[in-house]
Structure 1
Amino acid sequence: MSKIIPFKAVRPTPDKVALVTCRNYDDYSPAELASWLDFNPYSFLHVINPAYVHSQKITLDKRFKGVAHKYQDFKNDGIFIEEEKAVFYLYQIQTKTQSFRGIVAGTSIEEYKNNIIKKHEDTLQYRVELFKDYLHQTGFNTEPVLITYPDRVEINDWILQKKKSQPIYHFSTTNKEIHTLWQVDNEHEIFWLEKQFEQIPELYIADGHHRSASAELLYDEDKHLGNPNLNYFMSFLIAESDVKIYEFNRIIRDLNGHSKDDFLEKISDYFIIKPKQQELWKPQDKFEFGMYLDGNFYALFYKINDNNNFNNKNKSSILSNLDAQILYDKILHPILGIEDLRNDERIEYIPGKQSILTLKELIDEGEFEVGFMLFPSDISEIKLLADNNLIMPPKSTYIEPKFRSGLLIYEL
C-alpha cells in the first residue's frame, strides 16, 4: 500500500510562471546565473541565491535566512499565490524528443522509513544534514523527489482524460521545453487517485535520495512541534515506462603510470578489445563499454563466464554484474588506482545525454587521458537493487525528467 496526499501548494501567478520558474540552480554556470539574475527580477533564482554577488562572503546560516526573507518578499509582492485547499497536480514536460507526465503529491515519511518507498543510491551525511538545515530555516521545498510506480492502465487512462481539461499553466522555456500543469481539486478525483496508489505495494525513488533523506531527518528532529506537513515530502510520481535513464560516462586524467600498450594488455584479461579508430562508437547493449584513448575509439566486450552470470539473482551477483560496478572492479580500481568514485579528483563524469564528442574533446585537449562510455541501466536493474537493499556505485544514472524550481512549493 502506498499513501499519497494532496497538499496546499504555493505557486506563481499564471501571468508570471514562465518568468519565475527556472532550472535547477546547479545547472547554471556562474556567468549564466549572473545574466539571468540581472535580466529577470522575477526569477526564482533570486530566492534560492539571494545577494548572489556576495554569496561567497556570507555564512550558510545567513544565506539560508536570506532565502527565507526573499521568498517572503516574493509572496508579499504577489508573485506567489497559495492554494485555498489541498490538491493534487498533473504535470507534463515536453522536450524536443520526449514527453513526461506524472502526479505531484505528498508522500509519506513513515512509508519511506518502512522501505515501502525504496532507494537505490547512497547518500552523503553532510549533504543530508546541510539540506535538512536549509529546510528548517527556509520553511519550504520546491524540488520534489522523483518517484516511479509500476504502470497502471487505470492511471494512464485517467491522465489521458485529464489532459483534455483546461490547465492552470501552459508555457514554454528558453531551453525549448513546454510545461503544462493541471490542478486536481475535485474531491472524487482526489479520492480515486488515493485509492489507486493504495493498490500499489511499493514505490521507487528514481532521483532525489538526498532530499528524501533530509526530509526524514527534519521529521525526526522537529516532529515534536506537531507540524503535520513534516509527515510528508513533495514527490513527482511518474510511471516506470515514462522515466528516461541515461548513463554517466567517465573521464580519467591519467593511466596511473601505465603505458598505453601496458594498459590495453591489462584490460584484455577481462574484455575483448576491438579498435574502432575514428568511429564515434557507443555501447549497444549491457556488458559492452566504449573507450576513447590516444585519439582512437575502442569497443570493449566483457568476457562473460560462469562466475558473472547475470541470471544469478543472489545479492553479490546482482551488484557485481552492474556495468558501472564492472568498470570499477576490473579497470578503475585495480588498474587506474581510483578507490573513491565520489571524491577522487582524477575522475569526472559526463551525463550520457551529452554528445560523445564532448568526451572526445575533453580528452583531446590534454587534461584527461582516457574516457569510458557505458550502456544505461534500465528500471528493472534499479528496482532489483532496491528490492535487495543494494546501492549503485556513485554516478551510475542520470535520470529525467527534471522538475522546474519555483513551479510548486511545499511549505513546512
Structure 2
Amino acid sequence: MSKIIPFKAVRPTPDKVALVTCRNYDDYSPAELAAWLNFNPYSFLHVINPAYVHAQKITLDKRFKGVAHKYQDFKNEGIFIADEIASFFVYEIQTKVQTFTGIVAGTSIEDYKNNSIKKHEDTLQYRVELFKDYLHQTEFNTEPVLITYPDKAEINTWISKKKNEQPLYHFSTTNKEKHTLWKVDDLNELQWLEQQFENIPELYIADGHHRSASAELLYDQDCHLGNANLDYFMSFLIAESNVKIYEFNRIIRDLNGHSKETFLKLLSEHFIIKSKEQELWKPQGKFEFGMYLDGNFYALFYKLENNNSSLLENLDAQILYDKVLQPILGIEDLRNDERIEYIPGKQSILTLKELVDEGEFEVGFMLFPSDISEIKALADNNLIMPPKTTYIEPKFRSGLMVYEL
C-alpha cells in the first residue's frame, strides 16, 4: 500500500513561469550562472543562490537564511502565488527525443521508513545532514524525489484524459524543452487517485536518494513540533516504462603505473578484447564495455567465469570496479578518488574521446545502461549500486512548484 496526498503548492504566476523556473543549479557553468543572474531578475537561481558573488565568503547558516529571505521576497513581490486548495498535478516534459508524464504529489515518510518506498543507491551522511539543515532553515523544498511505480492501465488512461483539459502552464525553455502542467483539485479525482496508489504495494526511488533521506532526518528532528507537512515529501511519480535510464561513463587520469601493453594483458584475464581502432563503438548489451585508450576504441566482452554470481556482482558497473578499477587501476573510493570522473551517457562519446585526447585523462570506459528491472531487483534485495551507476531522466524544473514545510 502506497500513500500519496495532494498538497497546497506555491507556484510562479503563469506569465512568469518560463522566466522563474530553471535547471538544477549544478547544471550551470559559472559563466551561464552569472549570465542568468545578471539578466533575468525572475530566475529562481536568485533564490537558491542569493548574493552569488559572495557565496564563498559567508557561512552556510547565513546562506540558508539568505535563501529563505529571498524566497519570501519572491512571494511578497507576487512572483509566487500560494494555492488555497490541496491538489495533485500532472506534469509533462517534452524533450527532443522523448515525452515524460507523471504525477506530482506528497509521499509518505512512514512508507519510506518501512521500505515501502525502496532505494537502490547509498547516501553520504554529510550531504544528508547538509540538505536537512537547508530544509530546516528555509522551510521549503522545490526538488521532488523522482519515484517510479508499476504501469497501471487505469492511471495511464486517466492521465491521457487529463492532458486533454486546459493546462495550468504551457511553456518552452531555452534548452528547447516543452513543459505542461495540469492541476487536479476535484475531490472525486483526488480520492480516486489516492485509492489507485493504495493498491500499489511498493514504489521505487529513481533519483533523489539524498533528498528523501534528508526529509526523513528532518522529520525525526522536528516532528514533535506538530507540523503535518513534515510527514510527507514532494515527489514526481512516473510509470516505470516512462523513465529513461542512461549509464555514467568513467574516465581515469592514469594507468596506475602500468604500460599500455601491461594494462591490456591484465584486462585480457577477464575480458575478450577487440580493437575497433577509430570506430566510435559503444556497448550493445549487458557484459559489454567500451574503452578508449591511446587514440583507439576497444570492445571488451566480459568472460562469465562465475555463473553463480550475485545480482550485484552481475551489475556492469560493479564488474568494472571489481575487475578493473580497483585491482588494476588502484581506485578504491569511487566517490572521492580524484583520479576518476564521470560523464552522463546522454553525452556523446566524442566528449569522452576529446577529454582523453587532450591528455588530462589516460583511459575512458563506456558502459551499457542498466534497465528498470535490474534496479528494482537490487532494491528488492536491499542491495546498493556503486556510485554514479545510473543517470535517470526526467529532470524536474527548480521553482516550478514549492512544497512548504
Shorter-chain TM range is over 0.9
Is 2:83 the partner of 1:47?
A: no
Select which of 356, 363, 366 maps to 2:359.
366
**Alpha-carbon deviation of 1:207?**
0.1
Aligned: 1:246 with 2:234: no
- Aligned partner of 1:344 among 330, 337, 346: 337
Aligned mates of 2:349, 2:97 — CA distance in 1: 18
> Alignment partner of 1:206: what SS?
strand
What stretches of structure 1 move > 3 A for 4+ residues in a row? Answer: none
Structure 2 portions without partners, runs of 5+: none
- Deviation digits for residues 56-94 of structure 1, max 9, x if unmatched? 100000000000000000000000001111000000000
Q: Deviations over 1:24-79 (max 9, x none)?
A: 00000111100000010000000000000110100000000000000000000000
State the alpha-carbon separation in 2 of the partners of residues 408 and 385 from structure 1.
32
Aligned to 1:63: 63
Residue 273 (structure 1) aligns with: 273
Deviations 1:249-268 (A, max 9, x none): 00000000000000000000
> How far apart in 1 are the matches of 2:291 and 2:62?
46
In the alignment, the residues of structure 1 paired with residue 53 and residue 254 of structure 2 have an alpha-carbon distance, to the nearest angstrom, of 36
Tell me the CA shift for residue 131 of structure 1. Answer: 0.1
2:391 counterpart of 1:398 = yes
Corresponding position: 1:188 with 2:188 = yes
Q: Report the residue type matching 2:206 in the other structure.
A: A
- In the alignment, the residues of structure 1 paired with residue 245 and residue 33 of structure 2 have an alpha-carbon distance, to the nearest angstrom, of 27
Which residues in structure 2 correspond to 1:114-129 (within 5 Å)?
114-129=114-129
Q: Deviations over 1:143-183 (max 9, x none)?
A: 00000000000000001100000000000000000000000
Paired residue type of 1:251: I
In 2, distance between residues paired with 1:349 and 1:147? 23
Paired residues for 1:207-226 under 5 Å: 207-226=207-226
Mapped to 2, the partners of 1:241 and 1:53 lie a distance apart of 42
Where does residue 160 of structure 1 map in the other structure?
A: 160
Q: Mark the runs of 5 or more structure 1 residues left unpaired by the alignment.
A: none
After TM superposition, the score normalised by the length of structure 2 is: 1.00
| Paired residues for 1:57-206 under 5 Å | 57-206=57-206
- Deviations along 1:189-235, whole A, 9 cap, x unmatched? 10010000001000000000000000000000000000000000000
Partner of 1:264: 264
The CA deviation string for residues 90-113 of structure 1, in whole angstroms up to 9 with x for no partner, is 000000100000000000000000
Q: Deviations over 1:348-377 (max 9, x none)?
A: 000000000000000000000000000000
- The 1-side partners of 2:55 and 2:303 are apart by 51
Supply the distance in 1 between the matched residues of 2:50 and 2:239 (Cα, whole angstroms).
Answer: 36
C-alpha distance in structure 2 between counterparts of 1:396 and 1:215, whole Å: 23
Counterpart mapping for 1:304-315 below 5 A:
304-305=304-305, 307=306, 309=307
Aligned-pair distance for 1:141? Answer: 0.1
What root-mean-square deviation, in Å, do the aligned CA atoms of Structure 1 and Structure 2 show?
A: 0.5
| 3-state DSSP of counterpart to 1:348 | strand
- Cα distance in 2, alignment partners of residues 67 and 388 from structure 1: 39
* AA in 1 matched with 2:339: R
Q: CA deviation at 1:296?
A: 0.1
TM-score by length of 1: 0.98
Q: Counterpart amino acid of 2:159?
A: I
- Percent identity between the two aligned chains: 85
1:410 aligns with 2:368: no
Specify the code of the residue in structure 1 equivalent to 2:26: D
Q: Which letter does structure 2 place at the counterpart of 1:168?
A: L
Deviation at 1:304, TM superposition (A): 1.4
Q: CA deviation at 1:333?
A: 0.2
3-state DSSP of counterpart to 2:334: coil
CA distance in 1, matches of 2:88, 2:126: 32
